[in-house]
Amino acid sequence: MEDETHGITERRERFAAMFTRSLPADVTSSATTLGGRPALQLRTATPGTAGEDVLLYLHGGGFVVGSARVTAHISAALLRHLDGRAVSLDYRLAPEHPFPAAPDDCLAAYRELLDSGVDPQRLVLAGDSAGAALAVVTMTRARDAGLPMPAAAVLFSPAVDLTLSGASMRSKNGVDPVFAPADLAWLFDRYLAGGDGAAPEASPVFADLTGLPPLLIQVGSRELLLDDAVRLAGRAGADEVAVTLEVVPGQPHVFQLDDESAEAAAALERAGRFLAARSGGEKEES
């Protein structure tokens, strides 16, 4: 156990070193708490952006690594299209805190935003990989609890099937430059800690998505998780949810993390516009 704990600490440090980027000069960040967990709040210094839009961002990392700071540059890119602030949550990570700690934290954060007076029509969600799955689970749990839905959600490379049953787990094995199936199995095993990977709150591709707000799903064509995104879109459509699926050719898992990629910049632009068009505080184009 001590060796695994040391190995997980190293994984978290490597992940942070690989993907953390400096924030733009006009973006300010501040530590806060939300739902009893640490969080990072972002605002832009642009005049006229002190409105009431709120973006709740849930970071990826296989439920084991990652942090609000690592993906802050993605939150900042989306925030440019909104009139308000972004809040990225540091939910509890496995294996120290296995399922359902993370979805519990995310629902508590969502509930606190509503309880604090945030208008659900000015509230949008986004997340990448495991965080995208948590965004879906947060919405289904909020719906079941009788809470209002957000205005929209953006899901980057959602990891929504912890049973690894998608066909792309085989067809993209060796094509995906980030993961082999065994890598994902290792992460998900630590999150589930012996639990049922097919449970809808763990794998929302198997959930009833009725009543969810409009969704934008972006995924790369080279991903093991390609079919997670495709099947999630199909499930949403079958459950009468407005859903847009973008499969970006030649791109890997959460390619939006690459701040030097033209494809990433274009995808984030589309995602930001999607959120802005559905929130009550859409900015006017200059």
pLDDT at 222 over 70: yes
Beta bridge mates, 215: 153, 243
- Name the strand (E) or helix (H) holding 271: helix 262-278
pLDDT at 1 over 70: no
Per-domain residue ranges for the chain?
2-278
**From 155-159, 162-166, 221-225, 280-284, the region with the lowest mean pLDDT:** 280-284
pLDDT in tens, 128-185: 999 999 999 999 999 999 999 999 999 999 999 999 999 999 999 999 999 999 999 9
What class is the 2-278 domain?
alpha beta
CA distance readout (Å), 182 to 16, 171, 174, 176, 189:
21, 15, 12, 13, 10
Which pLDDT score, from 0 to 100, does residue 286 have?
35
pLDDT in tens, 55-79: 999 999 999 999 999 999 999 999 9
Annotated catalytic residues are 129
pLDDT at 6 over 80: no
> How much of the chain, in percent, has pLDDT values that exceed 90?
92
Q: pTM of the predicted model, to two decimals?
A: 0.95
Sheet holding 27-34, edge to edge: 27-34, 37-44, 84-89, 53-58, 123-128, 152-156, 215-220, 243-248
- Describe the chain by its helix, strand, coil percentages, rounded to 5: 40, 20, 45
pLDDT in tens, 235-261: 999 999 999 999 999 999 999 999 999
Which pLDDT score, from 0 to 100, does residue 4 have?
72
pLDDT at 284 over 60: no
